[in-house]
Amino acid sequence: MGLAASQARLLTITARKSDCEYQSMAYSHQKIALSRDMNIISAEYQDALTQTKLVYDFYGTGDKSTQLSYGLLMQPSKLNDYMPSPVTDAAGRVVLDARLAAAADAAGIPQEGFGTTPSSDVRNKFVQGLIDNGVITETVGQGIMNIQYNPEAGLGSIDTIDFITRTVSYDEFVNEYLCNIEFDFGDLLTDTGGSNLRLHNYGNGTTVEDPGAGAVLTLSQILNGDYAILGLTWDNKNIGEYGKGGVVDKVGSSTYWDVLFETLASYLDTSDPYIAAALEYAKRETLKKVECLGTGANGEEFDISNAAYQWTSSHSKDHDVNSEINGKTGNYTGYVYCNNKKGGSGKYNHGYGLSLTNMTKAYFTYFAQYMEGLATTEYEINNEESNCNFVDDDFAFDIIEGADSTGDSVLMASFYDMLFNQIATKGWVQNDQVNDNEYLQTMLQNGSMYISTIGDDNYYYQGNYATNSYIKEVTDEEGIAVAEAKYNREKEKINAKENIIDMKMKNLDTEISALTTEYDTVKSVISKNIEKTFKRYDA
């Protein structure tokens, strides 16, 4: 090898060796960074091992699964025996979420409070505010306002009662309880500028188009009869106008359905989560059929293809549509749609039909299905009435005895009177984060918030959460398990990265060793060449 070539090779080896040593140093720094990351996740894991959570154990069974929440303290239920445990700030003011705060504001309660209890008019404004802001339903709210306000509730007095229930069959419920629930069916027939709706009684063949004020039917009459809503769109109404914003929306938005849903709820213990879920299921499934809903891009939307029955006329005459809806509606559960084939310049009408009796039966059947278990119930709802197995006398309801249409109004009134009196006398402050369970727990644990508990003298006293016998602080086993899983996952990631770095550093060490050997060899060759050259010229 020539001297020049050897020197060039030596420079190449030196450059590559320096590059490898730099890469090796960079990998070393990465390993140090991974060690820091490992220390951080280890510290987080160690902290997690000591974390606790607040649970609500009203029955004293040692239950650790019911995490403390704002709703458990501030909403009436069997879990709090229909007595509120107000969340308060350091000044003793009741901490309200956005909806409760809006109700207090609507009642004109200043944030510093009145210092005393106000009139029943202010209390009723507060209850109306609860209704307007979706805290309670209209039916529950009216039931509370029908009960005399107790200005001493939670201020030395307590007003609660136990449930008294009676088990009745479906037929007994319909004929003994629902015979008093009246509905002004004129609300279903009001003309909206293109609906032409009418109530048809298949039992006697009569039809009512404009009943005037005070025309009522009871829910018992509807369930024991054979009633239907029939209608035609006016000329030039297309399918879109017919459904969205038209005749379908008119019937679907009628107050009849609210009366139906709230009536059943008013007779039942809605604090039971299973009953509440059954009521919600029955409501949802009923409205799907009433409003002909399907799943659209933005959720459930009007979908004509989901009608229980569809028919297109073969002639362009209005009476063909009339005849079809009159003849078919009573045989179906759900929306009946009859399309006039002519359309266009013929200006003929489309037809609408909905069996009011079948849909009302369907609502109670959906409720019974859920209560019995959707996978095991024998009750069934199909589009064709003949293929339905509606709820019958074998199904029983646990009715709140003596409730009439108010249900558990006395319990609800007692709860909200106690809460109202605390807000009115001690003031309130709004906190929109209080429904976040983790936030609430943090605020209670660091002493920023307190819980007021009713004492043996029926007065409320503010105290630390630990003084409330129903609230316990327990090891957060679920949180620890989550933290452990996260720790193991992150540790595996770091170990995998370290293994890759170790392999790369090992390869670099091997290459550096080889380069060092080659470097020494080339350097030796250069030295010998130089020595030989000098000896030649010395000679």
Longest dimension (CA), the chain: 142
Mean pLDDT of 96-106: 95
Name the residue ranges covered by the structural domains of the chain: 3-49+478-538, 54-161+408-475, 167-400
So what's the pLDDT on residue 190?
62
Beta-carbon contacts of 231 under 8 Å, excluding residues fewer than 6 positions away, are: 195, 196, 197, 198, 247, 251, 325, 351, 352, 353
Q: What is the pLDDT of residue 346?
A: 43
344 CB-near residues (< 8 Å, 6+ apart): none
Q: pLDDT (tens digit, 9 = 90+) per residue, 34-63? A: 888 888 877 776 766 657 778 887 776 666
What is the mean pLDDT of the segment spanning 119-135?
91
- Tell me: pLDDT of 403 over 60: no
Decide if pLDDT at 364 tops 70: yes
Contact 151, 117 (CB under 8 A): yes
- Over residues 248-269, the mean pLDDT reads 85
Tokens 């390869």: give the residue.
507
| SS3 of residue 436 by DSSP | coil
Task: Measure the CA angle with vertex 104, ends 101 and 110; round to 5°.
Answer: 105
SS3 247: helix
Cβ proximity of 31 and 506 under 8 Å: no
pLDDT interval class at 249 (50, 70, 90): confident
Each residue of 441-450: b (16+ CB within 10 Å) or e?
bebbbeeebb
pLDDT surpasses 90 at 126: yes
> How confident is the prediction for the chain on average, in pLDDT?
81
Structure tokens at 292: 């002909």
Token digits of residue 288:
């799907």
The residue with tokens 């109306």 is 128
Least confident window among 242-251, 370-379, 438-447, 467-476: 242-251
Cα separation, 79 vs 88, in Å, equals 20
For β-strands 471-475 and 351-355, DSSP reports them as unpaired
Q: Is the pLDDT of residue 370 over 90?
A: yes
% of residues, the chain, pLDDT over 70: 83
